Structure 1
Amino acid sequence: MTPELSHDRIDRLREALLAANYTADGVVDSLGPLAHSALGRGEPEPAIRATAEAGALGTLIRLFLVGDPVAPEAAERALRPLPLEEALAGGIVVRDGDSVRAGLDVRPHAATGNSWWIISDLDAEVRPSHLPVSREHVLGVGQASLSLVRATPARRVGSLLDLGTGCGVQALHASTHADHVTVTDVSERALALAEATFRLNRIEVERLRGDWFSPVEGRRFDQVVCNPPFVVGPARTDFVYRDSGMSGDDASALVLGRVPELLNEEGTGHVLASWLHREDEDWRERVSGWLRHDDVDAWFVQRDVADPELYVGTWLRDAGIDPKSDAGRRKAGEWLEWFEANEVTAVGFGFVTLRRTSGGQPGRVVCEDLRQAFDDPLGAEAEEWLRRVEWLRQRPTSEELLRSPLVTAPGLVLEQVSSPESDGWSTFVHRLHRTDGPGWQHEVDETGAKLIAGCQGALATDELLELLAAGYGADPVEMTRSAEPVLRELIQHGMLLPAEWREQR
């Protein structure tokens, strides 16, 4: 059933939220940091106590963030100028005996200096325990959606497509850097809630309904973002927001194969995806095979790997299904049998950055494990990765690369590990470490460490190699041959940078 969220109802709801200061800052100020943190941990009592005398704002917090029923009179006052009967008719609130409770999740969301509201279906913290998750459930702002936001470069673009928008969170963030935003979804309910979110925040967005790529067939965009239904397993659709109806990781394969076709030259795509790990198969070869075009740069970043048992249990709980219940055990058994029959040893999850190269130039495909913890948004690193890959593409030969002066990146450090010897300490590990971004690490030998230390932009790299070869009595040709792939990898990971980039800063 699609909620009837007319423009008039949403406009009046906006007035009520503004009048009560129901914003991210307003909620924190009302609750205080301790009660706010407790609410984030799923502990509502401090928030209930903190809002006892908070008027309309307190009512809205208890209604939409705590999930408690409130008196109709209190709801009427808090939602004014939206009449309670109109809020009930639109499904924003529903009757619960002599009280009313939230029918939809209306939640403040703040990021990058902006304050918004997002409308979605009730999450597990607010939804009454006796209400099951419906097949058409529209997910709110979760960790996966926020991680995709952080993994998407916020560069200025003319046109952006949010493929499978759900509640609209990707499009909301995209509106800060895209001149024109288009969203699609197969779910009529999702588009209705997304439209209400956009209206509530006064954002103009083109909305199209349809399956996968059909709504935008033949169109091209400067940027595409997609958080697809990437859950892997048997071919079924228990929940539209996460299940594709396709077997295994076919949904991720489909999206990554087709997104480049939606990109203008030099346009970029940013996708969340999952992939199978199987016996006697390298996951890197698996995902690389999904790309259908040669003129695409692709960076696959694996952020997590889960064994089948953990994976199944996590997604059962996500749907509000107790793994110990009869239904939970039945579903888990079917799922695990499928994994066993298909020789699945684990499930990988991560981000994929794509770029359509200009002029049909051959692209570069890189698959990397990035399971270490880091705080920097991956979007900034993805933008710089694409820039570095393009610089390397323009210098395909050894001579072109080594003619270029290089500099060490800001934040690059050298870690050395030594063991005691009879005549002092003997260093046997030279490890480069980037202290920003994803925190890449590379081990080099003593000669490599000296070469990198010499990269200060004054000399071309081939001149540094000649000096090193003379100092070590080594063959300069052999030293150059062995140094080139190391230099390319260090540049790709942002440890060494072109000297001219320093001058552009």
Structure 2
Amino acid sequence: MRLFTLGRPVPASALAHALPTLGVDGAVALGLVRLESGRAGFVPDRWEPPSRTALATCDLRPYGDDAHDWWVASDLSELAVGGPLRGDHVLGIGGASTTLATWTVRRPVERALDLGTGCGVQALHLTGHARTIVATDISERALAYAAFNLALATDGAAAAPAVELVAGDLLDPVAGQRFSLVVSNPPFVITPRDEGLPLYEYRDGGRAGDTLVRSLVRQVGTVLEPGGVAQFLGNWEVPAGRTWRDVWAEWLDEQARDGVALDAWVVQRESQDPAQYAELWARDGGAQPGSEAHSRMYAAWLRDFAAREVEQIGLGVVTLQRPATDRPTWRSLDEAHGPVATPMGPVVDAGLRARTWLAEHSDDELLDVAWSCASDVTEERHARPGADDPSIILVRQGGGLGRVVRAGTLLAAYVGVADGELTARVALDAIATVLELGAERVRAELVPQLRDLVADGLLV
């Protein structure tokens, strides 16, 4: 912890005790540490003047999921190095990488692509369900870290999937290839192009505004096989007078010259104004609030957003799917600012399958299914004291995206009988009879609502 997390020197003798198999010389040979002489260090229970002192050249920490225990190496953080990061800094395990990992669909696939692999975190996860993996990055240092982490994880195991590491920008290194799954934690941070500002390979894509994310949306379909899925994180600009859904409707316009013939599920997890965004990223990399460097970067971000009349910046998760059949594409542009299920991968997988089924089946076919409420769905009824009937009925999803639907009389009646016994058609006709309403009117009102509940997993 002291050496590899805090970046503090330790006596070589203490390191030798902690690494009895590898040894100090082995750690030096792997490039994990370097040695200096004549410095005092910390030994458990006592201080002594060691002849040699070890200093970490990287961050090394345990990481894993339900089925794996890994060690992941990356560059030391700004807290450990005590100052700003180098431009080619290789980021370790952070909130963005763990978010993408938990949202990724884990279907078994033949070929997977980790676009912008960094230190290789997403590639490590892919080894659990992909037969072959290609991992790309523009940074040679990042690819070296990824190679080390993958070697450390597989340790020469014969059953380990083949991983090819390739240098290059975005999709250029894999042009003409096809994948069943593409995951990417790209350098999505919207960064001013001002002279003199520090640029970091792990976060800055070298493009103005949100061009990088937009380009990925428009181009990733070229490497997806039919039925293939692409998932990545992104930030997007929302100009004054528009909504984030307006922005995405333009990005996904199939009629445009470079239109996107893909299914799209975009979940906006957060929204920030330019000042919040500038504050977040101006201090990233080691600049301290109140310092001249921080103030200069903060002002540059505000100028950059003002030049494009940006009012809000959206942050979220993007899932795209290439249709496996000749059918119309579907779109889901959702907001989920609160807690969601962990992991989200199974939820996204089920949501893709449900939305695809809806796109391939008519309203009549929807009505011929005996739907039931998912096991995590509950109902809340709110009424004024003494009232005979509730004034508000809420249908609440306990998992997934945590959907809460305000149900009218008809929807509440259907949800109350949706137990998998009756088809939706029979149930709606019965409700129409009891309430003395026309069957066609009941279906016209409820079918669109049933489609939404099926898409979001409240009805299964």
Q: TM-score, normalised by structure 1?
A: 0.82
- Summarize the Cα distance change of 1:62–1:459 in structure 2 as closer, same or farther, 3 Å threshold: same
Matched, 1:170 2:122: yes
Contact 1:376 1:438 in 2 (8 A): no
Match of 2:367 among 397, 402, 422: 402
Structure 1 residue corresponding to 2:110, chosen from 148, 158, 170: 158
Q: CA deviation at 1:306?
A: 1.6
- 2:157 is aligned to none
Report the counterpart of residue 273 of structure 2 in structure 1: 307
Q: Please state which structure has a larger fraction of its residues in helix.
A: 1
Secondary structure of 1:392's aligned partner: helix
Q: Which residue of 1 aligns with 2:218?
A: 257
**Is contact 2:218-2:260 (8 Å) kept?**
no
Q: Is residue 371 from structure 1 mapped to residue 337 from structure 2 by the alignment? A: yes
- Counterpart contact for 2:33–2:57, Cα < 8 Å: yes
Pair 1:439-2:402 in alignment: yes
CA distance in 1, matches of 2:290, 2:61: 32
Within 5 Å, give how 1:35-46 maps onto structure 2: none
Structure 1 residue 280 and structure 2 residue 274: aligned? no
Written as runs of structure 1 = structure 2, the 5 A alignment for 1:475-486 is 475-486=438-449
Write the letter of the residue equivalent to 1:474: L
| Cα shift readout 1:140-189 (whole Å, capped 9, x = no counterpart) | 00011001000001111111100010000000011011111110011111
Q: Cα gap change, 1:375/1:463 in structure 2, threshold over 3 Å: closer, same or farther? A: closer
Q: Identity rate of aligned residues, in percent?
A: 34
Gaps of 5+ in 1: 1-60, 498-505
Q: TM-score, normalised by structure 2?
A: 0.89
Q: Tell me if structure 1 keeps the 8 A contact 2:179–2:225.
A: yes
- Worse-matched range after superposition: 480-489 or 166-175: 480-489
2:25 aligned with 1:72 = no
> Residue 5 of structure 2 contacts residue 76 of structure 2 at CA under 8 Å; is this kept in 1?
no
DSSP 3-state at the match of 1:359: coil
1:211 maps onto 2:169 in alignment: yes
1:55-93: per-residue Cα shift (whole Å, max 9, x none)?
Answer: xxxxxx321123221113333454455564564465422
Secondary structure at the aligned position of 2:401 is classed as coil
Aligned to 1:469: 432
Q: Residue 412 of structure 1 aligns with which residue?
A: 377
Give 1:288 deviation, angstroms.
3.2
Residues 356 and 293 of structure 1, relative CA distance in 2, 3 Å threshold: farther
- Distance in 2 separating the partners of 1:124 and 1:431: 47
Q: CA RMSD in A?
A: 1.9
Give the secondary-structure state (helix, strand or coil) at the position aligned to 2:420.
Answer: strand
Per the TM alignment, residue 194 of structure 1 is displaced from its structure 2 partner at its CA by: 0.6
Correspondence for 1:323 among 264, 289, 292: 289
Displacement of 1:222 in angstroms is 0.7
Q: Structure 2 counterpart of 1:341, which letter?
A: A
Give, in whole Å, the separation in 2 of the partners of 1:322 and 1:177: 42
The range that moved more, 194-203 or 235-244, is 235-244
Partners of 2:133 and 2:237 in 1: CA distance: 32
Distance 2:55 2:327 in 1: 57
Alpha-carbon distance between aligned partners in 2 of 1:73 and 1:457, rounded to the nearest angstrom? 67
Match for 2:181: what amino acid?
Answer: Q
- Are the equivalent residues in 1 in contact too, given 2:182–2:231 (CA < 8 A)? yes
Cα distance change, pair 266–191 in 1 and its aligned pair in 2 (3 A): same
Contact 2:278 2:302 in 1 (8 A): yes
Q: Which of 178, 184, 192 is 2:136 aligned to?
A: 184
Q: CA deviation at 1:255?
A: 1.2
CA displacement at 1:456 relative to structure 2: 2.1
Distance in structure 2 (CA, Å) of the matches to 1:278 and 1:294: 22
> Residue by residue, what CA displacement relative to the aligned partner does 1:28-67 show, whole Å, maximum 9, x if unpaired?
xxxxxxxxxxxxxxxxxxxxxxxxxxxxxxxxx3211232
Letter in 2 for 1:324: G
Q: How many residues align?
A: 432
In structure 1, what residue type is equivalent to 2:168? G
| 1:384 has 2:350 as partner | yes
Change (3 A) 1:403 1:103: same
Deviates more, 1:274-283 or 1:286-295: 286-295
169, 176, 195: which is aligned to 2:147?
Answer: 195
1:225 alignment partner in structure 2? 183
- The residue that corresponds to 1:53 in the other structure is none
How many Å apart are 1:287 and its aligned residue?
2.0
Aligned AA (2:233): L
Corresponding position: 1:487 with 2:450 = yes
Task: Please point out which of 124, 140, 148 is paired with 2:100.
Answer: 148
